[in-house]
Amino acid sequence: MKITVRANSAQLTHKRVLIVDDDQSILDYYKMLLENWGFDVYTASNTEESLSIMAQQHIDLAIIDLHLVGETGLNVAESMNRNEDFRKTPKMAMSSTLPRGLPKDLFKSFFNKSWSGNGLLGQLSKAIH
């Protein structure tokens, strides 16, 4: 049985989401999922790519993997916050494991990579608004 979940609010359609992860299969999966929900999705694998995209596009939400090769999601979020224009962009941490002591001043929320469907969509909606 196939379950389809869609963004049921025009307020979420075409919101721009940046996903930062060093695993291309994760980027591809979440890009497809969020685009199916009506989001405009950009992907990056590191801090440099994410800052370059944010310089070119207004981003409504940045979803950042906490465990990247050679850097951490904390480093990515801190780098974004050093730029006045990016500081106000809500950031959501993601990981396959529950983090301890996630800095609330950097991340608005957290989601586990195993989530999908309404739970994830609800978290995205809360993080954007």
- Classified as helix, coil or strand, 88 is coil
Average pLDDT estimate for 108-128 = 81
Rounded to two decimals, what is the model's pTM?
A: 0.88
Task: For 13-37, write each residue's pLDDT tens digit.
Answer: 789 999 999 999 999 999 999 999 9
Tell me the Ramachandran region of residue 63: left when phi exceeds 0, alpha when psi lies from -120 to 50, beta otherwise: beta
Structural domains in the chain plus CATH codes: 16-128 (3.40.50.2300)
Measured CA to CA, the distance from residue 53 to residue 63 in angstroms comes to 13
Query: Under a CB-based contact definition with an 8 Å cutoff, are residues 53 and 44 in contact?
Result: yes
pLDDT for the residue 55:
97
- Classified as helix, coil or strand, 64 is strand
Which residues have C-beta within 8 Å of that of residue 4, sequence separation ≥ 6? 36
